[in-house]
């Protein structure tokens, strides 16, 4: 009994070898299904852009563009409502700045330790531990920011003037959240810097610290910048920590001990409320969402560009 479906007789070779149009129809169907799966991701992006765009356009029929982009007060529910985006943006920038101030030095120092100082065994324990931080749900960090940081540390230390909702508490926990991002990616970048660069410096009598700071860090700079950009994107997009700990009062300030509201915090507030379709309140959700989407997109693209630059040089 032959294994092959049509035994080969010298006269019938073409018939045996030719494509039979329906013999592998299920293969064609499967390929089509798989391609359809891939299109779903494209459809998702279109949907996001469409949804944000449609309601934003409706929003901007009610609120003029200059009002949105040039005014500074965000008071959507006041008697005389004001829709200046800058207060919300300031809130976001506030937490971004302070979380970076905390996370960048610590993250880079961790990266330097892991890539330049640590033994392989230590690294194999520390790196996963660090990455475990990234798996903690943000609502848990939010709880910690409000209860532990504000109530148990900031108020006892700085007095009860510290508002119960303040940007600093949120920034501290945001810093913890982005620590793995900065540390891990920077460490990858530093480890990829070729040994010869280090050895050249050692050969000239540099200490380990000098090699790390003056040779490796500059060489890994693109990767480090990429990690920071990614971290910024994550902080900008983060909702729960800021919504719970930083407050829901728009405030045009960068002072960390003030109550503020970020773009994401406002969006959550609308989601918790009862805004009806067609109202400016409902539409403002999408307008702010569009700004948020564009900002995170830009930072992610910039980060990818920097990663590309790093790979070009060293990998």
Partner 1 sequence: MATAPVVLRASGRVAVRQAVSRASAYLFLGASLVGVFVLFLLAYETISTGAGRLSWDFISNYPSRFAERAGLRSSAIGSIWVLGLTVVMSLPIAIGTAIWIEEFAPQNKFLTIVKLNLANLAGVPSIIYGVLGLAVFSRFFGFGSTIMAGGFTVSLMILPMTVIASQEAIRQVPSSIRDGALALGASQWQTVWYHVLPGAAPGIITGIILAVSRAAGETAALIMIGAFTFIAFDNTSPNEDFTTIPIQIYNWTIRPQEAFRQNAAAAIIVLMVAVLSLNLLAAVIRERFRRS
Partner 2 sequence: MEEEGPMVQLKSPRLNEVDLQETKPEEPAVLANPAVVTPNAITDPPEEAVFSISELSLWYGHKQALGDVTFKIPVNRVTALIGPSGCGKSTLIRCLNRMNDLIPGVRTIGVVSYHGQDVYAPDIDPVEVRRRIGMVFQKPNPFPKTIYENVAFGAKVNGYKGNMNELVEQSLRQAALWTEVKDELKKSGLALSGGQQQRLCIARALAVQPDVILMDEPCSALDPIATLKIEDLIRELVKDYTIVIVTHNMQQAARVSDYTAFMLSDDRGVGRLIEYSPATDVFTNPKDKRTEDYITGRFG
Q: Which one of residues 89, 233, 287, 291 is an interface residue with partner 1 (CB under 8 A)?
A: 233
Q: Distances in Å between the alpha carbon of 148 and those of 96, 103, 106, 217, 238?
A: 20, 19, 20, 34, 19
User: Could you please report the per-residue DSSP string of 41-101?
Assistant: HHHHHHHHHHHHHHHHHHHHHHS-HHHHHH---EETTSSS-EE-THHHHHHHHHHHHHHHH
Q: How far is the CB of 31 from partner 2 (least distance, A)?
A: 14
Exposure on the CB side of residue 171, measured as CA atoms within 13 A: 26
Q: How far is the CB of 24 from partner 1 (least distance, A)?
A: 6
- 157 interacts with partner 1 by CB under 8 A: no
- 35 interacts with partner 1 by CB under 8 A: yes
Q: Distances in Å between the alpha carbon of 165 and those of 110, 140, 157, 174, 248?
A: 30, 16, 16, 15, 8
* Contacts for 8 with CB less than 8 Å, ≥ 6 apart: 16
Which of 30, 134 has the CB closer to partner 2?
30
Of 126, 243, 108, give the one whose Cα is nearest residue 175.
Answer: 108
**What residues numbered 257-276 form the site for partner 1, per CB under 8 A?**
264, 267-268, 271-272
Q: Which one of residues 2, 10, 45, 160 is an interface residue with partner 1 (CB under 8 A)?
A: 45
**What residues numbered 175-214 form the site for partner 1, per CB under 8 A?**
176, 179-180, 183, 205, 207-210
CA distance 150 to 168: 9
Which of 5, 80 has the CB closer to partner 2?
5
Radius of gyration of the chain (CA): 27
Q: How far is the CB of 315 from partner 2 (least distance, A)?
A: 11
- 296 interacts with partner 1 by CB under 8 A: yes
Which of 19, 277 has the CB closer to partner 2?
19
Q: How far is the CB of 86 from partner 1 (least distance, A)?
A: 20
- 62 interacts with partner 1 by CB under 8 A: no
- Determine how many CB atoms are found less than 10 A away from the CB of residue 82: 15
Q: Which one of residues 60, 86, 143, 202 is an interface residue with partner 1 (CB under 8 A)?
A: 143
Q: Distances in Å between the alpha carbon of 266 and those of 23, 121, 247?
A: 58, 45, 10
Q: How far is the CB of 297 from partner 2 (least distance, A)?
A: 25
Q: Which one of residues 59, 98, 144, 310 is an interface residue with partner 1 (CB under 8 A)?
A: 144
42 contact, one of partner 1, partner 2, none, CB 5-8 Å limit per kind: partner 1
Q: Is 250 in contact with 88 (CB distance < 8 Å)?
A: yes
Q: Which one of residues 8, 13, 16, 48 is an interface residue with partner 1 (CB under 8 A)?
A: 48
Q: How far is the CB of 3 from partner 2 (least distance, A)?
A: 4
Tokens standing for residue 100: 């970076």
Which of 15, 255 has the CB closer to partner 1?
15
- 247 interacts with partner 1 by CB under 8 A: no
- 304 interacts with partner 1 by CB under 8 A: yes
20 contact, one of partner 2, partner 1, none, CB 5-8 Å limit per kind: partner 2
* Chain residues in the site for partner 2 (CB under 8 A): 1-5, 8, 10, 13-14, 16-20, 24
Of 103, 85, 108, 95, give the one whose Cα is nearest residue 235.
Answer: 95
């Amino acid at each position: 009994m032959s294994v092959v479906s049509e035994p080969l007789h010298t006269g019938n070779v073409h018939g045996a070898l030719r494509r039979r149009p329906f013999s592998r129809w299920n293969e064609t169907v499967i390929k089509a299904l798989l391609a359809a799966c891939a299109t779903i991701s494209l459809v998702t992006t279109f949907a996001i852009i469409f949804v944000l765009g449609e309601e934003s356009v409706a929003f901007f029929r009610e609120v003029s563009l200059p009002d949105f982009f040039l005014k500074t007060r965000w008071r959507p529910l006041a008697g005389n409502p004001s829709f200046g985006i800058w207060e919300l943006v300031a809130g976001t920038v506030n937490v971004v700045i302070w979380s970076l101030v905390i996370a960048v030095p610590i993250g880079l120092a961790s990266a330097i330790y892991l890539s330049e100082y640590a033994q392989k065994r230590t690294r194999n324990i520390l790196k996963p531990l660090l990455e475990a931080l990234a798996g903690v749900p943000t609502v848990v960090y939010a709880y910690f920011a409000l209860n532990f940081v504000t109530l148990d540390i900031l108020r006892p230390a700085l007095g009860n003037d510290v508002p119960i909702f303040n940007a600093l508490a949120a920034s501290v926990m945001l810093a913890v959240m982005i620590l793995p991002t900065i540390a891990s990616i920077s460490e990858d970048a530093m480890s990829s810097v070729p040994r010869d660069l280090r050895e050249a410096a050692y050969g000239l009598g540099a200490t380990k610290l000098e090699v790390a700071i003056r040779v490796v860090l500059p060489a890994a700079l693109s990767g480090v910048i990429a990690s920071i950009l990614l971290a910024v994107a994550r902080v900008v997009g983060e909702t729960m920590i800021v919504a719970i700990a930083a407050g829901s009062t728009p405030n045009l300030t960068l002072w960390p001990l003030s109550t503020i509201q970020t773009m994401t915090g406002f969006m959550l507030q609308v989601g918790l409320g009862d805004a009806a379709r067609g109202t400016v309140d409902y539409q403002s959700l999408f307008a702010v969402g569009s700004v948020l989407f564009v900002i995170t997109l830009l930072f992610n693209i910039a980060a990818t560009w920097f990663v590309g630059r790093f790979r070009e040089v060293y990998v």
